Amino acid sequence: MNSNTPLITMVIKSKDYQKIDLLTSSQKSLIETLSMLCSFLSVDDFCSFIFSSKFSDLISTYSGLVFEIGLYTNHEIVLQLIGQGKKVTIIDNIGCGCFADNSIDCSTYDELVVCINQWLSLVLN
């Protein structure tokens, strides 16, 4: 794969509109950006963003967000990501079989890297 071709995409799948008024202007701006399809060149880029201070601040403040993450090359292969305080929950709605009970909680960057790499190795092979 070309190193300039994105690997992972992410977009807000659903949000609680009533809670948006409680956010700071910076958080609202991030929500606006994430409402469009965002792409990441690598697992490291994606996981670094998920555990960045801006994203962590957003999901710890605003619990009404559900994200869809997927393959850039096949938008039908997707996972859901839900932020809950200082962790994210990854849900495999199509049942690829890479997580016990089709979901997993990740509290650290390293846990998320393992989780996403596990999913990618399964769906790309």
pTM of the model: 0.90
Mean pLDDT of all residues in 100-122 = 95
pLDDT reported for residue 78: 94
Residue 37 pLDDT exceeds 90: yes
In SS3 terms, the chain reads as CCCCCCCEEEEEEECCHHHHHHCCHHHHHHHHHHCCCEEECCHHHHHHHHCCHHHHHHHHHCCCCEEEEEECCEEEEEEEEEEECCEEEEECCCCCCCCHHHEEEECCHHHHHHHHHHHHHHHCC
